[in-house]
Amino acid sequence: MTDLRLDAPEPPALIAIRRQAGLADEMWRELAPLLAEEGITADTDLTDLPTLQSALDRAVARYNTALFTPTGRARTEAAALLRQVASCFADGETGHAARLLDSLGPQASQEQPATSTACIGLALSLLDAWSAPAGGAPAGVPAGTALPAGHWRGERAATDILALARKGRAHRSHQRLIAQHGGRHVMDGAALALAATVQAWAKHTGTPAAEIAEAAIG
């Protein structure tokens, strides 16, 4: 049965490179407006490789940042799912929390309108914000948050995320985290770190974790 709680330490992620038909064409279409802003169009001299590579690097960075910075409905759906995960985690319903996370993919669907990228991005940005002096979390809670005892899915990523968030650098480090741990481990780790912080916040204030999640995750 799927569960966030593990019986043994989580094995390191195996970063696999998968080839998906049509993915390159789809990405080029999505990058085209960003490349155009960099002056790269169908009429550009493609033999100027250094200029092309620099423009492509900037466009990809902006594209990735947008994916991991949800707004509007994407943010609303991500927040709703993360609130459920945090509440389930606090209630010991770690199997349900795992199933919620397992339902996420890179694209929204009718069955699951939240996406993995939106949830990762929102969780990381919230953790950064809560660690700021006026971030809304009680003083000392983000800095004092630790993962609960035991072994967890995404625990390695969560440990790194909590450390980065204390410096306000978790969100800006999302690409490095994914390169190091893999997307699925970062998704689990971001949700785990967020849920652990909500639980610490609840303990500090004597407020039910579900109320903290409802008020703070949005």
- Residues 100 and 89: beta-carbon distance below 8 Å: no
Q: What is the pLDDT of residues 78-119, one digit of tens each?
A: 999 999 999 999 999 999 999 999 999 988 898 899 999 999
Mean of pLDDT values over 185-205: 97
Rounded to the nearest integer, the mean pLDDT of the chain is 87
pLDDT at 67 over 90: no
Q: What is the pLDDT of residues 129-172, one digit of tens each?
A: 999 988 889 999 999 999 999 999 999 999 999 999 999 999 99
**Two tokens at 25?**
């064409």
If pLDDT is split at 50, 70 and 90, which confidence band does 213 have? very high
Q: Which residue has the higher pLDDT, 102 or 67?
A: 102
Q: Give the C-alpha separation, 215 to 150, whole Å.
A: 28
pLDDT at 106: 87
What is the secondary structure of 97-142 as a DSSP string?
HHHHHHT--SS--SS----HHHHHHHHHHHHHHHHSTTSSSPTTHH
pLDDT at 124: 98
What share of the chain in percent tops pLDDT 90?
65
- Residues 185 and 160: beta-carbon distance below 8 Å: no
pLDDT at 22: 45
Q: Which of 37-46, 71-80, 117-126 has the lowest mean pLDDT?
A: 37-46
Phi, psi of 8, deg, nearest 5: -145, 165
Q: Which residues of 18-32 are buried (b: 16+ CB within 10 A; e: fewer)?
A: eeeeeeeeeeeeebe
